[in-house]
Amino acid sequence: MYLPKDRGNKKLAALVISGPFGAVKEQASGLYAQTLAERGFVTLAFDPSYTGESSGEPRNIASPDINTEDFMAAVDFIGLQSYVDRERIGVIGICGMGVSR
């Protein structure tokens, strides 16, 4: 999770971000998350199921259904943070992660 430096006490818009197929959160999605946090958003970059630090087998599986569930869980999580405006949460799927339904 990335937070703006000067967030004050107000609730902020948030973005959940996942990168291209096979990438991990420290790569493209992490760069997007860091840059967008610098612009005032609360951001969360995550490893999709079966990728990176996420557990499970088989590794590196491509599934729009699983990707959708991952995004839903990430949105639920970020929405529970006290400094996030639940009415202003968006998602960014880079490359293959953008095919989530």
Are 73 and 67 in contact by the 8 Å Cβ rule? The answer is no
Question: Is residue 5 scored above 90 in pLDDT?
Answer: yes
What length does the chain have?
101
Amino acid letter, 92: I
- Would you state the pLDDT for residue 20? 74
Strand order in the sheet with 12-18: 42-45, 12-18, 84-93
Q: What's residue 45's pLDDT?
A: 94
Domains of the chain: residue spans and CATH:
12-99 (3.40.50.1820)
Contact 36, 65 (CB under 8 A): no
- Is this prediction's pTM over 0.75? yes
Tens of pLDDT, residue by residue over 20-72, are: 776 777 788 999 999 999 999 999 999 888 888 888 888 878 788 888 899 99
